[in-house]
Amino acid sequence: MHEFQSCIYDTISTFEFEEKWDDLITKYEIAMQNDWLKTLYECRRKWALVFLDKFFAGMSTFQRIESTNYFFDGFVTAKTTLSEFILKYTVALESRFDAENQAYLKSLDTEAYLKTCSPFEKQAAIIYTRIDRGHCFSPTTICEDESNLTLIVKSFERVKFKGKCKEMQKEYTVKYQK
């Protein structure tokens, strides 16, 4: 596993990635019988860090791994199988989403904590709160059966124009096939 992680996270050139990948395939003789791994390799330009034109804000590989470990903490262990991982990933994602929603709801009922007496900080806190609370989405289920779900989503936005605040409403129909 360490060698695989090193191939994914520690390579700094595409040549180095290709070399490490080939070494892994040869050493463990896994690509010959594994269609999933072949497919994964074929689309490496979409997921391998060295192929992506992304900036990681100076985060080292260790910091990125620690961030990943934090995300999965309490959900997966070293003995988690791939099929269990997929299920637990969904649970971890939902848990983090719920935690974000709880923090957001809590922020609606509380004032921003100011660390200084600066009028600039106070104004920024008020503006942030206005922007944050200026958007609201209200989904309503209008039709649901075994294979389809249709929602009406209303979007409310407060827009300031020529010194006047106006609330605008937009309505979208979202159709989802299960």
Q: Which tens digits make up the pLDDT trace of 30-72? A: 656 777 788 888 888 877 778 776 555 444 455 545 566 667 7
The predicted model gives 70-87 an average pLDDT of 77
Q: Domain tally for the chain?
A: 2
Instruction: Tell me the torsion sign for CA atoms 10, 16, 22, 26.
Output: negative
Last residue of a domain, one of 54, 80, 96: 54
Question: What DSSP character marks residue 44?
Answer: G
Q: Would 19 be classed as within a structural domain?
A: yes
Residue 137 counted as domain residue: yes
User: Would 102 be classed as within a structural domain?
Assistant: no
Q: Give residue 35's domain range.
A: 2-54
Give the integer Cα–Cα distance in Å for 152 and 142.
7
- Please check whether residue 87 lies inside any domain of the structure: no
Model pLDDT, residue 31: 59
pTM of the model: 0.32
What are the Cα distances from residue 51, in Å, to 35, 38, 61, 124, 163?
22, 17, 15, 38, 48
The pLDDT tens digits of the residues spanning 122-152 come to 777 776 654 444 445 556 667 777 777 777 7
